[in-house]
Structure 1
């Protein structure tokens, strides 16, 4: 760890000091390999600090809010939450609940899992199954160029470890709920989700980040997902944090031969959100869907950034991201597809559509294709516009009040985006949450 404290910017130094103070209380203290990973993370963050808008990847998203306030790592033994306060997406799922970043066994419910499946909190795995974590943590998500990921590694506390053995089908979804409760003000948590899907297995992962109380807090989430050959993983996420919260997420996925990764992210919460999805198709016939939707208002800022890397031939990728932006809110879409020289017969599709509901709303879109192979089929597009006057007139002519007509058209636009969700139960729940957002509007 750097000792050049006199040359270190104050916001960075605050985290370096906090790292020294928190290190002894973090899970896994005493594991040499984890100590090295954490030290590498804080060293990387010390050298870079928070990205600025001079960094092209953050050109449209300012992280000054993170520089202005030092968020203390949430202590163990957080606020009490009763089971009735925990929203459930799928009844009968294998459920892990985290309160202010810490696993809460009393609120969790893990049913009968197929033989060989490992599903436990990261803190428990570091105590009872450290070899599994040591062999896989940080192998997919590299720290270079990713300061928030480095910060997550430095303060890695709790999280989830899921390992699915070869040929195993987990029929009930694995549901991960991260709740901000009383006492979250001024705190931060840095959970790590580690998913190891072996050959020809299948599972659904449902992730939700919600708030039961107000206040500004900082959730810095990182996920590493390895999809083995022939495996199929569905990954659905809803970010509905508190109105003053800051939510940063980095999801790194590696997809093997004949494997499929199907993901969808819905962002409706937090004052500042950035979801970065980095997907590597590094064997033949791999397939990924990296789609999402957002609905923001007030002064919210949401950023959906993706990088899909086609390394081997005969792989497909699909990305559809749609969002509604109201009041003075801002949205960012940055999607990049790279096709390497050996990735012949690539099929890549990318679409971003934004619906501007106010003359003060703003969208910054930057779709990119970078192609080094000559036998590919790739396309991308980005559009932004207002509600269709002809459609509004059609509904008004049939006696529907203006605001109700606008609501119907916005709902239809966002519902169309969620057709990308293959699981009907999850789709219905996320649609209901978007409709609740519309109702509040």
Structure 2
């Protein structure tokens, strides 16, 4: 039987058995053991169902029933590649590094393809990820082929790197599972602008996993532009550990895909560390987007900020689940979480579930959620001054999203996000 005759967890496990001799690291015993253990975890758990609390609002049956196969890359040079925003770019097509489309020669620090660097990554690959607890991470660990490996030395300003993921056009469903490892040593800084896109009529699964380590005083800005094709699925998981004085600044824009889940697990592991996790979900008819965050305050004197905004039109559905866990040792924690949704259609739906779990005494934590439609008075005010209705609506939506985007400190990353938001609304209006 071929993988094409299987679906669900069985299909991926069958694919793993057929591919394991050709996957990167097949001659490294520790990689073989890592994959084999992940396969057993995935075999035992399968795809999570809505009976699992963390997946209560997102149904993965469309993914598990698709019957994905190994992608056969057929991308012409530059096809589907976004315009470059800086002079360093790593391009992955169907989860595989494409040196011919990338520009990394000028980098003053280590950037490599995971497939090439694998023999040197025994202490890093799997350092943070938890395949025993997250079935999709087990799936990634079982089947990853490539990814981006970045190491910025202490005190170095790494500037900006673009990480572009592109799905190629195909008549059959395909799946790819890139694994990205980012490490910033003490006092280093870096901006990553990550984009994901694919053809409108191809069904595919993009299942990336990030493992991010920020050492003492390091700072990473991570701007993510999810613009997958209309039949694409993206199920992404990020693990980040921020040591003392470090800052992880994440902004995720969900604007494409049929079904998308953005899951972030961040640990503030040292005093005076900070984490900013902000984002926007821009959903059209038929789209489903789920943002799930788990933020562990595991050290004293740390701060976190989360602001997520969702704009929904047609029969779309948005999900926000955010948990702040304050450990007993994490005294003087300052945590803030807000989720706001703007419904542009009576058929749109939002599920919001903010959570606080606090075991420390000296903390300042708050969370909240709001849901509403465009303000009729504000719309009337703009129309009364001669502004066409479509433009007036666009102005109100952009104002609603501005608070989240303005929190992105890096100007290149902020400009990329603003451009994507403007493009989404213009495409809607057209």
TM over 0.5: yes
Match of 2:129 in 1: 141
Q: CA deviation at 1:113?
A: 2.2
**Are the aligned partners of 2:7 and 2:67 in contact in 1 as well (CA < 8 Å)?**
no
Q: Which moved more, 1:176-185 or 1:81-90?
A: 81-90
Q: Give the one of 217, 226, 233 matched to 2:220.
A: 233
Q: Distance in 2 between matches of 1:299 and 1:26?
A: 35
Match of 1:95 in 2: 89
Q: Where do residues 247-326 of structure 1 align in structure 2 (5 Å cutoff)?
A: 247-326=234-313
**Are the aligned partners of 2:11 and 2:68 in contact in 1 as well (CA < 8 Å)?**
no
Q: CA deviation at 1:67?
A: 1.8
Q: Note the alpha carbon deviations across 1:330-359, whole angstroms, 9 max, x for none.
A: 000000000000100000000111100000
**Are the aligned partners of 1:89 and 1:426 in contact in 2 as well (CA < 8 Å)?**
no
Match of 2:78 in 1: 83
Gaps in structure 1 of 5+ consecutive residues: 1-8
Q: CA deviation at 1:83?
A: 3.0
Change beyond 3 A, Cα 1:14–1:85: closer
Q: Distance in 2 between matches of 1:168 and 1:417?
A: 28
SS of aligned partner of 2:11: helix
Q: Distance in 1 between matches of 2:29 and 2:185?
A: 27
SS of aligned partner of 1:24: coil
1:214 pairs with 2:201: yes
Q: Where do residues 39-438 of structure 1 align in structure 2 (5 Å cutoff)?
A: 39-75=36-72, 78-83=73-78, 85-88=80-83, 90-92=85-87, 94-114=88-108, 117-126=109-118, 130-131=119-120, 133-171=121-159, 173-183=160-170, 185-212=172-199, 214-438=201-425
Q: Note the alpha carbon deviations across 1:398-432, whole angstroms, 9 max, x for none.
A: 11222221122112212332112111222122211
Q: Distance in 2 between matches of 1:16 and 1:38?
A: 11
Q: TM-score, normalised by structure 1?
A: 0.93
Match of 1:440 in 2: 427
Q: TM-score, normalised by structure 2?
A: 0.96
**Are the aligned partners of 2:251 and 2:408 in contact in 1 as well (CA < 8 Å)?**
yes
Q: Distance in 1 between matches of 2:321 and 2:401?
A: 19
Q: Distance in 1 between matches of 2:295 and 2:229?
A: 30
**Are the aligned partners of 2:234 and 2:257 in contact in 1 as well (CA < 8 Å)?**
yes
Match of 2:17 in 1: 20
SS of aligned partner of 1:360: coil
**Are the aligned partners of 1:89 and 1:429 in contact in 2 as well (CA < 8 Å)?**
no
Match of 2:3 in 1: none
SS of aligned partner of 1:257: coil
**Are the aligned partners of 1:168 and 1:200 in contact in 2 as well (CA < 8 Å)?**
yes
SS of aligned partner of 2:207: strand
Q: CA deviation at 1:84?
A: 6.6
SS of aligned partner of 2:99: coil
Gaps in structure 2 of 5+ consecutive residues: 1-5
**Are the aligned partners of 1:296 and 1:326 in contact in 2 as well (CA < 8 Å)?**
yes
Q: CA deviation at 1:15?
A: 1.6
Q: Aligned-residue CA RMSD in angstroms?
A: 1.4
SS of aligned partner of 2:154: coil
Q: Distance in 1 between matches of 2:328 and 2:320?
A: 26
Q: Distance in 1 between matches of 2:58 and 2:379?
A: 33
**Are the aligned partners of 2:202 and 2:232 in contact in 1 as well (CA < 8 Å)?**
yes
SS of aligned partner of 1:224: strand
Q: Distance in 1 between matches of 2:91 and 2:203?
A: 21
Q: CA deviation at 1:214?
A: 2.4
Change beyond 3 A, Cα 1:184–1:249: farther
Q: Note the alpha carbon deviations across 1:248-268, whole angstroms, 9 max, x for none.
A: 000000010111111110000
Q: CA deviation at 1:111?
A: 3.6
Match of 1:3 in 2: none
SS of aligned partner of 1:306: strand
Q: CA deviation at 1:85?
A: 4.1
Q: CA deviation at 1:325?
A: 0.5
Q: Distance in 2 between matches of 1:44 and 1:73?
A: 21
Q: Distance in 2 between matches of 1:434 and 1:148?
A: 29
